[in-house]
Amino acid sequence: MVVHSARSLKSWWWVLGLLALALSMSVDAAPRSAKSAQRSAERPAAGKNVRHAKSAPAVRATSRARRVAAVRAVPHRPSLGELQGLHATDDPLELKSSVAFVIDQDTNQVLLSKNPDAVLPIASITKLMTAMVVTEAGQNLDDLLSVSPDDIDTEKGSRSRLKVGTQLTRGEMLHLALMSSENRAANALGRHYPGGLSAFVAAMNATAQRLGMTDTRYVEPTGLSSQNRSSARDLSLLVKAAYERPLIRELSTSPEAAFEVGSRLQQFRNTNGLVRNPTWDIGLQKTGYISEAGRCLVMQAQLAGRKLIMVLLDSAGKYSRLGDAERIRHWLLDQAGTVAASHGR
């Protein structure tokens, strides 16, 4: 009996120990369960609702902030004109362009001159000479040309809507090069010239020499290379010669046009917004930009009863070349009004 009672007592102690352990675990688990419940309440529900945890405006604001930060992180690359100190040159109109040259097309009278002989990169103003060589060669404008990997910009990494394999006529390529400054179109025009790209560049330089453009040199047909250089005085000769070709006048001033690119009809617009401005009467134009050249613009326009040639190079802001053109227009109109008033007395 004694042995049996001892064994029973040990069994009871063992049971009581298990009960105490279970009670302790349940007490500890209660705070943990409360904390888990609180964390679960604070977490967004799983599934589709997770995507809406951050509001759309907050996401957009974050994306904008990241883009702005990325832009600010890109260091300013001074143009060659800036490096040469040309922006410090004073002019009566306080132009943002370091180079400006305006002449009467018929009389060659110089109406405005600011660093006209500075030799600078000219960016896509190059494409005017590209158009000159194409039109002078008399190549069939209906021939189909293909965009190839050789037309991809490996120098500046610029984008293009003309994918490799795109086929357009020579006339369409010329239209896109002049109106929308399409680099792949301009390069394709050079590649499809008799003798290829090297012969085309040689023809560009030969034409420049024939026109008396002694400060001008071309190394390729797009303007992406900063080695394509000229002066404002030289470019006025190019604009005058290009204006004599009706096709260049028409294509360069076209406000917009649609082209079949692959299986889609795509709309392209003119890079110069002034062609859509009814206060301007523009007979020929071309814009250009690379960091080494700044913002560039050449135009032929009728203003105050005169045919004018206008060259603006190395402008310091995205829209400043257009602002400079407007300043010049108002200045010339004011001058014409003053002359008319004095003659009326």
pLDDT of residue 77: 87
Q: What is the DSSP track for 109-142? A: -EEEEESTT--EE-GGGHHHHHHHHHHHHT--TT
- Residues serving a catalytic function are 124, 127, 181
Q: What average pLDDT does range 120-125 have in this prediction?
A: 98
Chain segment 26-80, per-residue pLDDT in tens: 434 444 444 444 444 434 444 433 334 445 555 566 666 666 555 455 578 899 9
Chain segment 65-82, per-residue pLDDT in tens: 666 555 455 578 899 999
Residues 6+ apart with CB under 8 A from 94: 327
pLDDT of residue 31: 43
CA distances from 266 to 222, 256, 259, 262 (A): 22, 11, 5, 9
Q: What average pLDDT does range 133-156 have in this prediction?
A: 97
| Fold annotation for 80-344 | Beta-lactamase (3.40.710)
* Helix residue spans in 112-245 (DSSP H): 126-137, 170-179, 183-191, 196-210, 232-243
Give me the phi and psi of 231, to 5 degrees please.
Answer: -115, 160
Q: What is the pTM of this model?
A: 0.78
Task: Return the amino acid letter for 131.
Answer: A
Q: What is the mean pLDDT of the chain?
A: 85
Q: How confident is the model at residue 14 (pLDDT cuts 50, 70, 90)?
A: very low
Q: What average pLDDT does range 293-311 have in this prediction?
A: 96
User: What CA–CA distance (Å, rounded) separates 289 from 238?
Assistant: 18
CA distances from 90 to 262, 310, 319 (A): 50, 18, 20
Q: Give the single-character DSSP code of 291.
A: T
User: What CA–CA distance (Å, rounded) separates 66 from 273?
Assistant: 30
Q: What average pLDDT does range 284-303 have in this prediction?
A: 97
